[in-house]
């Protein structure tokens, strides 16, 4: 049986935590930042966990994590 390949796009976006969840960055902090207030930009800069509805998809993309 050959090795399973890791989706490189997912490997660059998600990291596994100690409890088995996946950590991700929040969207919306790349451009059009002038209309967003500093409180909103600060919250968008913090990391978040992947929702349970999407956990299966992320696990399939990262077979060895």
pLDDT band for position 10 (cuts 50, 70, 90): very high
pLDDT at position 31 is 98
Q: In this structure, what are the phi and psi dihedrals at residue 40, rounded to the nearest 5 degrees?
A: -65, -45
pLDDT tens by residue, 28-56? 999 999 999 999 999 999 999 999 999 99
Mean pLDDT for the stretch of residues 4-33: 97
Mean pLDDT for the stretch of residues 1-26: 97
- Rounded CA-CA distance 41/59 in Å is 29
% of the chain residues with pLDDT over 70: 100
- Rounded CA-CA distance 10/34 in Å is 29
Please provide the average confidence, as pLDDT, over all residues in the chain.
97
- Beta-carbon contacts of residue 16 (< 8 Å; ≥ 6 apart): 22, 23, 62, 65
Domain at 8-61: CATH code: 4.10.410.60
CB 29 within 8 A of CB 13: no
């Amino acid at each position: 049986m050959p090795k399973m390949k890791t989706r490189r796009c997912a490997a660059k976006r998600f990291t596994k935590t100690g409890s088995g969840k996946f950590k991700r960055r929040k969207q919306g902090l790349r451009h059009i930042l002038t209309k967003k207030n500093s409180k909103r930009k600060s919250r968008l800069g913090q990391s978040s966990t992947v929702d349970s509805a999407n956990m299966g998809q992320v696990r399939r993309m990262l077979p060895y994590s």
